Amino acid sequence: MSDCICPLKQAASDACRSLAWIDSKQRLTFQELDSQTDKIVLQLQSIGIQKGSLIATLLPPSDHLICLFLAAWRLGASICPLNLRLPSAQIEKQLKDLSPHLFISSFPFNQPLKNHSSLPISQSLFLFTSGSTGLPKIAVLSLSNLIANALGAILELNLEAQDRWLLSLPLYHVGGIGIVMRSILARATIVLNEQDTEITHLSWVPTQLYRATPIYKKLRCLLLGGAPVSNFPSHLPCFISYGLTEMGSLVAASYKPSEISCGHPLKMREISIASDGEILVRGDCLFQGYWENQKLSRPFDLDGWFRTGDIGKYDSYKGLTVIGRKDWQFISGGENIQPEEIENALLQIDSILEAAVVPTSDPEYGARPVAFIKTSNLQLNRQSIKKFLLDKLPKYKIPTSLFLVDEIPKKGLKIDRAQLLKDVSHN
């Protein structure tokens, strides 16, 4: 067994009869979920999984998948859930990069192990980043990192025993893992049934909020993150958040801020702003490093700070405000343009549901901003948008072209800007 005690085993000891899992077909207590995990431990042991093993999965969210995560960690093994939405060629590429000892794509599993030379890493979660500014990287988080992140989030988000958190984010995403860890540690219930009327906590990206309004009467926390939030319904218990895979999910959160800010860092994490405006983070939940060529690289400075690639500012009163990605900034006529600033302004127009801004080449200015929008008003035109934006942005930040689209392409939960740049070049 590994050094870090299994959080589910602890929950099964002191809250054995409390509900741990609800889906459309069944309800499981912590004791029942723990027993199911013990069975998977025996299955894994029987085929040779041990400390230093790496398991890759391609599975939909379920109680079985959660138990598989926990069973692997109990054995000191590591696990990497793969994105179900990727094409098969990308899945094959990721499996080649990982070279796991075991690949599981269905239950029950009986696949033979590959060459079993143990990794120098144990009891960890391997996650492919979104790759929003380049090729995806493999971030390695220890179980201790995940627990530290969850403990700080539980306090900030008022998660209590027997609350119910809807598993609305995938388990190949750090946000979905965060829901699982917080719920187990708080003795709350993980729910995989959006029809459940007792939901108290909900994680959404802004796109989900623009498409629908949650109607759960007991809702106490609507955690919004993963993209800029320009506005939100004041009657909902919204928490605006900032997080990243490399920190195990949540870093900062603010409850109903008067101005769009992400609040202050939660317990066991720190935030600093570099001289160039880049957000730096560190703390107990900071990841172990990136897995590259079967080795762990540690991209931290001497003081343990990690450069996030995000640009922001920090105020002792309001906390953290995220301006955008350092990689997405471009120069137009000598002026720096941050696409997210324009996107936030566009989203203040009621009929615009989603917005994305990218640069297009310009012989005079070098680059100019163009906008892709998804709107409920098909009569919306550039002139009316320009008139609205001129009160909020300088003239050089007004998009020169406007493209109405049915959907804005996504890479995971984030805008696929590389695809949009291709689309601009074809227009």
Mean pLDDT of the residues in the chain: 91
Q: Is the separation of the CB atoms in 221 and 253 below 8 Å?
A: no
Tell me which of 38 and 256 has the higher pLDDT: 38
Q: What domains, with CATH codes, occur in the chain?
A: 7-322 (3.40.50.12780), 329-425 (3.30.300.30)
Write the CB contacts of 30 (distance below 8 Å, at least 6 apart in sequence). Answer: 8, 11, 12, 15, 16, 17, 18, 19, 20, 184, 187
What tokens were used for 267? Answer: 């317990």
Q: Are 52 and 61 in contact (CB under 8 A)?
A: no
Token pair for 292:
């590259």
The terminus-to-terminus CA distance of the chain in angstroms comes to 58
Tens-digit pLDDT profile for residues 4-15: 899 999 999 999
pLDDT band at 123 (very low <50, low <70, confident <90, very high): very high
Cα distances (angstroms) measured from residue 218 to each of 160, 199, 201, 236? 13, 6, 9, 11
pLDDT at site 382: 81
pLDDT of 12 reads 97
Element (H, E) at 307: strand 306-315
Is 90 exceeded by the pLDDT of residue 419?
Answer: no
Share of the chain above pLDDT 90, in %: 65
| Cross-strand bridge partners of residue 375 | 352
Sheet order of strands, 352-362 included = 352-362, 366-375, 401-404
**Predicted local confidence at residue 155, as pLDDT:** 94
What are the tens digits of pLDDT across the range 208-237? 777 777 889 999 999 998 766 666 777 889
Residue with the larger pLDDT of the pair 261 and 151: 151
Please tell me the predicted confidence (pLDDT) of residue 112: 73
Confidence band (pLDDT; 50, 70, 90) for 134?
Answer: low
pTM over 0.75: yes
166 falls in which pLDDT band (50, 70, 90)?
Answer: very high
Helices (H), 165-205: 174-186
249: three-class secondary structure by DSSP: strand
Please write the tens of the pLDDT for every residue from 168-193. 999 999 999 999 999 999 999 999 99
Q: What angle do CA 21, 12, 19 make, to 5 degrees?
A: 30
Which pLDDT belongs to residue 1?
43
| CA–CA separation, 237 and 183 (whole Å) | 19
* Residue type for position 303: D
